Structure 1
Amino acid sequence: MSKSDAGTMSVKKAEQECRRIALSHYENFLVASVLLPRRLKQPFYNVYAFCRTADDLADESANPTSALRALDQCQTSLDAAFAGRPAAGIFTALAKTIEQFQLEKQPFNDLLDAFRQDQQKTRYETMGELLDYCRRSANPVGRIVLRLAAIDADTADLERSDQICTGLQLANFWQDVARDHAIGRVYLPQSELLAWGVSKEMLSEMIQRQTTYPQMKAAIQAQCDRTQTYFDCGEPLCDHVPKWLGRNLRLFVGGGRATLEAIRAVDFDVIRVRPRVSKATQVGLILRSLIGP
Structure 2
Amino acid sequence: MSKKWRIAGINFDHFHMGDLLRQTSEHPNAEIVGICDEQPARLVDATRHFSLAPHQVFTDYRACMEQTKPDIVILCPAASNHGDWVSKIAPFGTHIIMEKPEKAASWFYSKAQGGGSLLDYMGYGTTLGTWHLGGQAPLEVTGVWDEPAGLEVDEHAVAIIRYSFGLSKSETRWGTFTDPWTHQPQPKCGFVLKGTDGTISCYDYEPTVRVQTRARPEGYEIPVDPVLAPNRNPVEHVIHHLETGAPLIGPLRLDISRIGQQIVDTAFQSAREKRTLKLVG
In which range does the TM-score fall when normalised by the shorter chain? Answer: under 0.3
Report which of the two has the higher share of strand: 2
Report which of the two has the higher share of helix: 1
TM-score by length of 2: 0.27
